[in-house]
Structures are given as C-alpha cells and as structure tokens.
Structure 1
C-alpha cells in the first residue's frame, strides 16, 4: 500500500512539540484504516515511549517489525524497548537483526554488547565490542564499553588501554576516568590510580568523585560520610539502569541476609508494621519488606534509583533526599528500619543511627549491613583501635567494636552482630556485618 504521509507528518510534528498523546491518537486513527501500516505502528511506539509506557511501546514496535521486518530502525527501537523491560534475550535478537540489516548502526552494536554482558555472555560481548572498536576507532563510547567487558573477563591490562583510549578521544568522559582509576586501585596499583584521580581533579576541581577517591587511597582528609554529590554522580541514570544486573554478577547477597536477619527477630508477618527501607536504591529489599508492612517507605538520594524503585509498585511513599536530613524531618514512627548496603557510604555511624532511632516507635527493630574492617591484602595487620576507614573503592569499612559502640550511643540495644559474605569483588569475598538491634529500653 502507499503510505499516507500527511497523518504521519502530523504525528511527527506532535512529537516534536512534545505532544505524544496527540501523536498516538493520529496513529490510532490511521491504523483503523490501515492496520498493517508498519510506520504508523513505529511512530505510535515512539509516542508511547515518550510517555514512558515502555511495555505498550514494545508491543507497537513489535507490530511494526511484524509488518516490515527489513527495517533496521524498527528492529533497533524494538531492541531498546525490550532491553528497558529487562527482556534481554529478545533485545539481543532485535539488535542482531538491526545490525544484519545495517552493519554501520553503531548504537545497535554497542547495545548488543551491553545486553550480552547482562546475560553473562561476556566472551561474545568482548568479540562484538572488539570488532566495533576496530570499525569505529574514533568513538569513545565503544572503547569504554569494550573496557568494561574486558575488565569483567579479567583482561585488566587491555581494559586499562581501552579506558585510556576513551579518555584520549573524550577528555570529559568522567565515567571512563572513574572506571580507569578503580581498575588500577582494584589491581592495588595505587600510584597509577592516584595519578588518574589527581589528573581528573586538576581538570575538574569541583568534581566530588576524584576528591573522594584520593582520600580513600591517601587516608588524608577522609570525610565522615560520602559527599552527596559523590553519591549522585555515582548512582546516575546509566549506573541505575545496570545496577541490578551488576549485583547479580557479583553474587550480591544483602537482600537474602536482610531477610534472614528479620526472620531471626521473629517479627509478625501479618502486614501491620510501619516499615522504612533507608537507602532503598532500586527496591531490591522491597519483596522482603512488603509482607511485613501496612506502610512501606523508601528513602534514597538518587532520583534515578528511586525511579526504578517506584516501578516495583511496592512502596507507599518514596522520598528523595540525603538520609540523615530526611530522617530528621520525618514525623512517622517506624516499627522496622532497614539499611541494606547503605551504611558503607557513612564513616561515622552515630548520627545516622541516632536520627533513625528518633523516628521509630517503641520496641522498633533495626536491621543493617556494614562492611567489616578487614585486611586489604595478605600482609596487612588490622589496627584494632580503628573505628572505620575509607577504602580505595570509595566505600567505608567498620570495626565490629565501633558498630556496637555507635548503636549504644544512638540509643539502640544490639541483639546480634554476625559475619557474612556480602558479595564478590575481583574474585575475593567481601566480608560484612549483619546487625540487628531494638530500642525496647528507650
């Protein structure tokens, strides 16, 4: 059939004017007359994606592909939608189809590599991205994505070269500088890591990330907690989108540890508690907490993480802000407060535990994890007088002694402090403390 250009031109004008509802209506009217009109289905998909209705957008892109499978653009957008819906296998299929139709489509090749990483098909991802870097040698993002995969498979030296190439092509590529510094630090090449951070700070003196990471290596001017801007820059939209996949790859066990700790406290599971998920991130603990809650609240500093938490549809309220400030301002009286993998961004725990206690009901329960003060290498001897320290990876470790002291200073009565594996980091277990307490004596 001959495309009816005029209605689609109207739809595109509506999209340009940020009127996706109008664009969708124009497409629907056209599809009543021509239900097999592939481009109308495609434009409708764009309209729905602009409205953040990704599931419906994916359906529309699928119909566009069904009616015209030889369009690389349709296949690419279908891949994007499937990826956003965490339908990664389907996204891979769509991206592969797009690339077969249009090998020069850089975005499809990049995204295919990232999807393969998410599926833990890292060798395939490295092959895809190595070829992409060869075909697009001047694209910084390609070298960056390749470096991430190479680091994932343990090819650290080649990863360092790829990060350096990305920075050479784009000196303002902060994520490449960040990952390069962390890769050096992870290899205990602290001199090289320090050069990366100092060069970055010299170029961008107001950037909180290199300043924080320098403190983690030198032990000088260590802040009592992570700077708000550091957290926001770390947990941006790019990181948030891949957060849960990254945690899966490193054997992240904090939600399971929180679940077991709550079980040991024998809390009533009749859904009658006022529960706070403090530092909720993307909502990984929400399936555990929801059965206990008549009301479940989440707090996080990162709006990008909160956006994903909201998609779980398990929270009654989500609050954006710095944790201690929000806790200070809350009027609620919580029966259960959980900090799942949150206090590693705090050095001194006394203030945050104190303000948490101030917004709890009597007989409230506290559950949290912390990273245990542990040797960073075989020859290191731990100074037992140290309360906490900032690591070269930007996170804090805490001594068990200090955790107990901070709890009591904040008005909590410790119930249990046990050791457990939190995750894997470069092949080594990260040992944590799983802590339970109550305020029955308050």
Structure 2
C-alpha cells in the first residue's frame, strides 16, 4: 500500500497569507515533483520548504513518503516522527510510520503505530490489512485473520484483502487450529457470499460441501493476483509438472516433431511452452487469467493465446488438436467427466491428452476431495474410469511428485491418454 500524502497543516505559516508563504509554495512544488516521480528533486524541495518553516507537519509527512520512495527508510521514519512532534497527530501519519518501521524490522513499534492509526481512524482498511500482515509474519495467525476480516468488511471488493484472509486461514488450519480456522471461514462465507475466494476457500477450510469445480471467478482472481510472482514461487516449490508431462509425451514415441496442432490447456505464464514448441506446427494457449496470459505472451512462443474457460473453449473446437497438455489444471475441477469428455472431442483420432492431477490417497471412497488450499485431489480409480467413459485409452498412468507443499512432497498422477485412431476402411 502506497504511503499517504497530506495537505500542508500541523503548524507553520498561518493566517491569510499562509498559502502564499515561501514555505507553502516550496512544499506544493515538492508535492508536484513527487507526484511526477521525480523524487530526488522533491527531496531537495521539501528540505528547502522545511528550512523556511520547520513546523510544517504535512510537509514532513510528505517528505517521508519521498524518502521511502528513494529507499531511505530510516530517514522516512524520522520524518514521520517529526510530523507527529510538530502537531500532526493524524491516522495517516501513524500508518505511514508503522509501514516504515515494519520495513526496518522494528515490529513492536510498528504494531503500536498501527494501533494508534486505528484508534484515530477505525475504518482504515489498509491499516487493518497491513497490521494483519505484521501479525501473520509473527505467526500470530488468529489475530492476523481477525484483522484481515476487518479489512474486507470495510472494503468488501478488495481482492488482495480476501486473498490475504484466505491465506491466513489456510496457515491457521495447517498449524492445527482447525476449529478456529473453520469458525472464521464460515463467518467469511456468510459475510461475503458473492466473493469467489470466500465461497471456494471458505468452504474448503470450513469442511463444508465443496462445489463440483472451483468457480471461474475464483480461478481468474487468484491467478491474476498471483501472476507476477507465479514462476518464482513455483520454482521455490520445486514444481515439476511441465517436465514430467514433457518426458511422458517424448517417451511415447509419436511426437511428429514440428507437425502437431498443440493446445497448452490452462497455460498460465507459459511454463510448458518451451517443451511444446518443438512439437508444434501451431501452439495455442488458453487460460482464464488475463494476468497470466500477459506473461505467457511475453515468451513469444505461442501462435495464439485465448482468454477463456477451458471446457467451453474445448467444446467449440471439435477434432482440432493432435496433443492437449494440461499441467496442474484439472486440480481445479472436482468432477472430471465434463472436462475429459470435452478434451476427447477436441482431439483428432489418435490424438493425445497429457495431464496431471493431485493424488487422493486418504482413507474413504470419495472420488475427489478439495483441500484447504483450494485444489482438488482425485483417486486413481476415478480418473481411470472417467477416461474410459470419455472414450480415451490410457497409455501412461504414473505416480510422481508434482512439487513440495509445506515442506512435504505432493503426490500426483501423471497421465497420458489417447483418442482411438479410426479403424481402416
């Protein structure tokens, strides 16, 4: 959250000529330079204004914002403290100070500054959210979740706030506070029935009945928010699905290098593209998230990229592809029948479908189950039966590790299936 700028107040030039005083004019010039991103020049102008009138609290706050933009965080904290000392006892100054102190690792003082900001402005959603970030980092997860709940109550349409709330509930559940996480998740769903993250993740954490698949709006919102850091985060988790699928396709021995019409289904940022490009006469990617597609487009490996829901996209392209690859895409579907049937129809005779899903190995007979992170896991028997119903023949059906999650390997099913070729004559 960006620091907040304040108008000139809190001491200094007063009376009818205050607005035209040299200090006020210099301060306005500095504000204009800061707004234009010319922070080094703004720094000099703020210093000149404060030399003319050291008591300008608003100028000191705004100078602090510029110092933060220049990466001079300790000086910024000093500027905010000076604004408070010169009588500008405003919520936004306490909030700015708290944010700077958190950057400096002075978490105790930062928490106290957030509290002072919220006493003065209880409806400051960003302050609730950022204080909750601090509490989350200190592993005070129930307090953090409560803070995020306040933030999204104040700003119901704030995607980042809902994402943070869901992440805190997930961590709370993983740490063993299952009842507390479930209670807060049910309140979240009750208070925000139209929010896709609350609807899906709230149900998963509360243990309530899961929907047949993750809502499109949830998938789109989640990955739009995640797009910028997607590749780096998956690298940290040892994500292997693209390479596992590429190896199975290559080992199948029917690559027809450079001659296939290939679909990267749920292509995301394009992590599969490098392996698929040599096989493809035409490589198409489809994804629900426009944010992910922007990054896939930057790879310059696709002939076409489409923003669409996968089943609808496949249903409109009968017998269009020789190879469809879906790396960690069907984990957002619980019920697989519709998706696999649509994929089978979109393949040409002899065409292949390669995909991964997370393996459901827990006791019970449920064919699939949604986990607290919002992804579905599937039983091997259910996947095999659904492939058969869709008219697809299994060529490869392996178990392997897809990535790490909370320090533990995530077991997955790596599948290669084929639409039967037309019989001769």
Q: What TM-score do you get using the length of structure 2 for normalisation? A: 0.69
Among 102, 105, 108, which residue is 1:127 paired with? 105
Match of 1:406 in 2: 386
1:162 partnered with 2:144:
yes
Residues of 2 paired with 1:166 and 1:225: CA distance? Answer: 26
Residues of 2 paired with 1:421 and 1:71: CA distance? Answer: 56
Contact residue 72 and residue 98 of structure 1 kept, 8 A: no
Residues of 2 paired with 1:231 and 1:246: CA distance? Answer: 17
Contact residue 369 and residue 434 of structure 1 kept, 8 A: yes
SS at structure 2 position matched to 1:235: helix
Structure 1 residue 160: deviation in Å?
A: 3.8
Matches within 5 A, 1:111-260: 127=105, 133=111, 136-137=114-115, 138=117, 139-146=127-134, 150=137, 156=139, 158-168=140-150, 171=153, 172=155, 173-217=161-205, 220-236=208-224, 238-260=225-247
Structure 1 residue 141: deviation in Å?
A: 4.1
Q: Evaluate the alpha carbon distance shift between residue 323 and residue 266 of structure 1 in structure 2; reply closer, same or farther with a 3 A threshold.
A: same
Contact residue 255 and residue 279 of structure 2 kept, 8 A: yes
Contact residue 95 and residue 112 of structure 1 kept, 8 A: no
SS at structure 2 position matched to 1:406: helix
Match of 1:3 in 2: none
Residue by residue over 1:385-430, the C-alpha shift from the partner in whole angstroms, topping out at 9 and shown as x without a partner, is 3311222222111111111111111111101111111122222211
Q: Evaluate the alpha carbon distance shift between residue 71 and residue 400 of structure 1 in structure 2; reply closer, same or farther with a 3 A threshold.
A: farther
SS at structure 2 position matched to 1:330: coil
Q: Evaluate the alpha carbon distance shift between residue 219 and residue 194 of structure 1 in structure 2; reply closer, same or farther with a 3 A threshold.
A: closer
Matches within 5 A, 1:323-402: 323-330=310-317, 333-375=320-362, 382-383=363-364, 385-402=365-382
Moved more, 387-396 or 335-344: 387-396
Q: Evaluate the alpha carbon distance shift between residue 100 and residue 403 of structure 1 in structure 2; reply closer, same or farther with a 3 A threshold.
A: same
Query: Tell me, which stretches of 5 or more residues in structure 2 are unaligned?
Result: 1-32, 47-67, 81-92, 118-126, 156-160
Structure 1 residue 291: deviation in Å?
A: 1.7
SS at structure 2 position matched to 1:97: coil
Q: What TM-score do you get using the length of structure 1 for normalisation? A: 0.67
1:304 partnered with 2:284:
no
Residues of 2 paired with 1:199 and 1:278: CA distance? Answer: 35
Match of 2:279 in 1: 292
SS at structure 2 position matched to 1:127: coil
Q: Evaluate the alpha carbon distance shift between residue 147 and residue 247 of structure 1 in structure 2; reply closer, same or farther with a 3 A threshold.
A: farther
Residues of 2 paired with 1:203 and 1:258: CA distance? Answer: 41
1:425 partnered with 2:405:
yes
Among 239, 246, 249, which residue is 1:262 paired with? 249
Contact residue 163 and residue 222 of structure 2 kept, 8 A: no
Contact residue 296 and residue 316 of structure 1 kept, 8 A: yes
Residues of 2 paired with 1:144 and 1:313: CA distance? Answer: 40
Q: Evaluate the alpha carbon distance shift between residue 220 and residue 141 of structure 1 in structure 2; reply closer, same or farther with a 3 A threshold.
A: closer
Structure 1 residue 170: deviation in Å?
A: 5.4
Contact residue 146 and residue 159 of structure 1 kept, 8 A: no
Structure 1 residue 321: deviation in Å?
A: 1.6
Structure 1 residue 187: deviation in Å?
A: 2.5
Match of 1:378 in 2: none
Root-mean-square deviation (CA, aligned residues, Å) is 3.5
Residues of 1 paired with 2:383 and 2:45: CA distance? Answer: 56
Structure 1 residue 221: deviation in Å?
A: 3.5
Structure 1 residue 176: deviation in Å?
A: 3.0
Residue by residue over 1:49-87, the C-alpha shift from the partner in whole angstroms, topping out at 9 and shown as x without a partner, is xxxxxxxxxxxx9xx89x9797899xxxxxxxxxxxxxx
Residues of 1 paired with 2:356 and 2:245: CA distance? Answer: 8
Structure 1 residue 344: deviation in Å?
A: 0.5
1:320 partnered with 2:298:
no
Structure with the greater alpha carbon radius of gyration: 2
Q: Evaluate the alpha carbon distance shift between residue 97 and residue 227 of structure 1 in structure 2; reply closer, same or farther with a 3 A threshold.
A: closer
Residues of 2 paired with 1:441 and 1:134: CA distance? Answer: 69
Structure 1 residue 301: deviation in Å?
A: 1.2
Among 275, 293, 307, which residue is 2:262 paired with? 275
Residues of 2 paired with 1:304 and 1:422: CA distance? Answer: 24
The count of residues paired between Structure 1 and Structure 2 equals 340
Query: Tell me, which stretches of 5 or more residues in structure 1 are unaligned?
Result: 1-40, 47-60, 74-93, 114-124, 376-381
Residues of 1 paired with 2:108 and 2:261: CA distance? Answer: 51
